Amino acid sequence: MTAVVTEAPKASSMDRMRTFAARRASVLPTLAAIAILIVLLAGAQVEFGNFLTPGNLSALLLDHAYLLVLAVGMTFVIVTGGIDLSVGSVMAFTGILGASMLASGIPVWIVVPVMLAGGAAIGTLIGVLVQYFNVQPFIASLAGLFLGRGLAYVVSLSSIRVENPPILWLQQTRFVMGSWYITPTGIIALIVVAIGAVVMALTRFGRTVYAIGGSEQSARLMGLSVARTKVLVYVISGLCGGLAGLLLTAYSGAGYPRYGIGTELDVIACVVIGGTLLTGGRGYVLGSMVGVFVFATITTIISFMGAEQAWTHIIVGALLLLFIVVQRAIVARSDRQT
């Protein structure tokens, strides 16, 4: 009896240590992203002297609201251990589709749901291929990429200007708070981030997403709805792609079938820089938001310097490589401690 009594607390203590180590390992990459963002902002202010102004900082969200929405959907997918290469094409397809419908005189209250449904439909197709036909996420989403881009070219080969007041209102309106401002597109993006963060952290669906990324087999043994969840994360990503198409159309004032080429790689980079593991199981929506702001800050710094925007991708690529190495080191250390 004495042995049983003395061993129970030890087991409980070990469980707490494992939990603490796992949580620390999942949070550290995000904290590193926050530190890099602070260093970038501080360094830019020292270099240029007028970087940390309300106008510049407000513009970070203004110019990258669509990217922030895409990053939320991509976070869900990557946490399950998947990938979605279709988001840029979905954004282009839904954007040009919406612009074409608006130019034809179709009311905006019909156009917007159709845009969202179009993105969700492509996401559903990818999810079904991954879950029920055992197609690798890379291949399934690559098919979605070609499908979305092809549909965009079917709708129109050229740009279609948007002159619908409700759509333009999303971008042209400024809610001013002192020297700061925010547009409806920015508000929508922040709402999507808040919803994504709450769903991931506080719902059964979110816990299932993490469980699948940690070990899909274990998630099945626990009786979790693995099949439905894996399909739904791609539906969410497609839905975010449709919403991003709306935001980008409002931002640019037009739909264009070539929008979003390479955007899927930017989104993946932002999510990984924000602390989400490509292998799945760990990551935060708020971390992905930090990753987007790191990307946005680098882009703005390059513009201030007057250098080629190609340097943005070079720097982001270097950061991505650094974060992957750091993540692997943190995970390996966490595994040794547990």
Reported as a single tens digit per residue, the pLDDT across 86-106 is 999 999 999 999 999 999 999
Please indicate, yes or no, if residue 112 is contained in any of the structural domains. yes
Please indicate, yes or no, if residue 20 is contained in any of the structural domains. no
Please indicate, yes or no, if residue 245 is contained in any of the structural domains. yes
pLDDT for 329? 73
Mean pLDDT of 280-306: 90
Q: What is the mean pLDDT of the chain?
A: 88
Please indicate, yes or no, if residue 284 is contained in any of the structural domains. yes
Please indicate, yes or no, if residue 10 is contained in any of the structural domains. no
pLDDT confidence of 313, banded at 50, 70, 90?
A: confident
pLDDT for 334? 60
* Number of domains composing the chain: 1
Please indicate, yes or no, if residue 338 is contained in any of the structural domains. no
Q: What is the DSSP letter of 105?
A: T
Q: Which domain range does residue 83 map to?
A: 27-325
Reported as a single tens digit per residue, the pLDDT across 110-140 is 999 999 999 999 999 999 999 999 999 999 9
pLDDT confidence of 9, banded at 50, 70, 90?
A: very low
**CA-to-CA distance for 67 and 64, rounded, in angstroms?**
5
Please indicate, yes or no, if residue 335 is contained in any of the structural domains. no
Q: Which two tokens stand for residue 79?
A: 């946490």
CATH number assigned to the domain comprising residue 296 = 1.10.3470
Please indicate, yes or no, if residue 14 is contained in any of the structural domains. no
pLDDT confidence of 314, banded at 50, 70, 90?
A: confident
**CA-to-CA distance for 250 and 325, rounded, in angstroms?**
38
Kindly state the percentage of the chain with pLDDT values over 90: 66
CA angle centred on 15, ends 14 and 20, rounded to 5°:
95
pTM: 0.90
Q: Which two tokens stand for residue 48?
A: 């240029």
